[in-house]
Amino acid sequence: MDEISTESLALALLVLLILSGCFSIAETSMMALNRYRLRHLVKTGHRGARLAAQLLSRPDRLLGVVLLGNNLINAASASLVTYLAFRFFGESQWALGFATGFVTFAILVFSEITPKVIGATYPERIAFPAAFVLTPLLKLAYPVVWFVNLFVTAILRLFRLKTGADMQGHKLTLEELRTLVLEGGNFLPQKHQNILVNLFDLESGTVDDVMVPRSQLDAIDIETPVEELRRQVATSNHTRIPVYEHSLENIIGVLHVRKFLSISDDDELSHEQIRQIMREPYFVPMGVPLLTQLQQFQENHERLGLVVDEYGELMGLVTLEDILEEIIGEFTTQSPLATSGSHARQADGSLIVEGGTLLRDLNRRFGTSFPLGGPKTLNGLILEHFEDIPEPGTSMKLADQPLEIVQIQDRVVKSVRLLPKESK
């Protein structure tokens, strides 16, 4: 009879350890659930997710029922092991020490560490089924949990600590969202991930970073003879062209190429007709964040803005397409002249680029790390570095990128050779 009784007690101990492990694995899996995915599953009608969300909405109650069951079982396990030790070795301090050490080891390995590691590794597989068990258990044990939580709440208030229920208003910052997107690479296609990251970067970039500088502006003079205007517009690679009178300092409008072509066959085409189909120029101050300007384009129903400095002088031109390219990359409809002339790969692995190329574009296309806080173009960065006009053939290293000046024209660095980084 003693042997059978001992086997029954041992079996009871095993069951207690398993039950304790179930509470531990349920607790860890619940706390390890991705809250954003959980909300998504709740919206899709997932019943297990809905129960889990209800439990997590009051973490004090959830932890109360879990720890209540866990501690009761662990206490019962300790008492049972002590009883078995006394049965085998007699009531002695040695037997008590053995029982303490054995039950501590058994609970740590089989009821705490192993279950919690599993729960943290597979939270959804465990938490959702566990929610079906914990929900009725909470209802049954609610009076005890409520009584215990009275003391817990009093202690938290004594130390002026906020509970999870009081912190539901916490929102992710922009940098936290960025990190969330970057760490979600296994769930997002690379293209979608790049678009989201670029969208976050719009807040840090300004129109100065993407504008076409004044020196490269494609504009027409309203005083040009009509036949010459027809030729200029017909050969333009743009859908909208700024129009000035006498000088670029006097922009009087923006000409939509399609509207111009619709009347260009008229033999009686006059400058007055051209003035009538032009739109009023839309000016943008320097330094406006790209995201803000994108919203301004949308609200004002504009697609092109002329960037001016604090003195009202024209500095460049920014379009809606320029900002969209910052989000989704370059459009395939871009002019071949604009792409083929901006850079050329050489046989030795070097790259010839125009001095007026934006540093932002170089960093994105070729993986360079030129600073963006100062000059916006490669020409500006080189001139700032030398504080003078360098001679063709001059070599240097900027931001760990070896460079060689190829051509200087009109006091401007016209073309630069980007050398491979391993070159000396």
Tens-place pLDDT, residues 248-296: 888 999 998 888 887 776 667 788 888 888 899 999 999 899 989 999 9
Q: What is the phi/psi pair of residue 376, to 5°?
A: -95, -20
Which residue has 């009821």 as its token pair?
111
pLDDT at 321 over 50: yes
Q: Do residues 12 and 5 lie in contact, with contact meaning Cβ atoms separated by under 8 Å?
A: no
Instruction: Provide the greatest CA pair distance for the chain.
Output: 120
What is the mean predicted confidence (pLDDT) over 24-42? 90
Range with the poorest average pLDDT among 65-69, 90-94, 242-246, 284-288: 90-94
Q: How far is CA 340 from its chain centroid?
A: 32
Q: Tell me the average pLDDT across 355-373.
A: 82
Alpha helices (runs of H) in 264-408, residue ranges in sequence order = 271-277, 290-300, 320-328, 336-340, 359-366, 378-386
pLDDT of res. 4: 47
* CA 311 – CA 314 distance, rounded (Å): 9
CA distance 375 to 371: 8
As a whole number, mean pLDDT of residues 339-346 equals 60
Within a 10 A sphere around the Cβ of 206, how many other Cβ atoms? 22
- Comparing 11-20, 21-30, 61-70, 369-378, the range with the smallest average pLDDT is 369-378
The neighbour count for residue 347, using CB atoms within 10 Å, is 5
Task: Please enumerate in sequence order all residues whose Cβ is within 8 A of that of 142, keeping only pairs 6 or more positions apart, or say none.
Answer: 61
pLDDT, residue 49, reads: 92
Q: Which CATH architecture has domain 207-329?
A: Roll (3.10)
162 versus 21: which is more confidently predicted?
Answer: 21
pLDDT value for 229: 85
Token couple for 48: 């297990």
User: Which comes out higher in pLDDT, residue 191 or 132?
Assistant: 132
Model confidence at 1: pLDDT above 60: no
C-alpha 179: how far from chain center: 5
Condensed to tens digits (0 to 9), the pLDDT of residues 412-422 reads 888 898 888 76
> What is the structure's pLDDT at 387?
81
- Confidence band of 336 (pLDDT split at 50, 70, 90): very low
Segment 161-187 mean pLDDT: 66
pTM of the model: 0.61
At 89 the three-state DSSP class reads helix
pLDDT the model gives residue 337 = 35
Is residue 51 a contact partner of residue 135, using CB atoms and an 8 Å limit? yes
Domain ranges of the chain: 2-167, 207-329, 341-418
Same CATH topology for 207-329 and 341-418: the answer is: no
Per-residue CA distances from 295 to 204, 239, 289, 290 (Å): 15, 21, 10, 9
Mean residue pLDDT of the chain comes to 84
CATH topology for the 341-418 domain = 3.30.465
Tally Cβ neighbours within 10 Å of residue 133: 13
Q: What's the pLDDT at 227?
A: 84
C-alpha closest to that of 379 among 144, 216, 143: 216
Tens of pLDDT along 219-258? 989 888 888 888 888 888 888 899 998 888 889 999 988 8
pLDDT on residue 128: 94
Q: Which of 115-129, 178-192, 272-286, 387-401 has the lowest mean pLDDT?
A: 178-192
Q: Under 8 Å CB-to-CB from 371, ≥6 apart: which residues? A: 359, 381, 399
CA dist., res. 141 & res. 139, Å (int): 6
Q: Token pair of 242, please? A: 């700024």
Query: Does 83 score more than 80 pLDDT?
Result: yes
CB 119 within 8 A of CB 26: yes
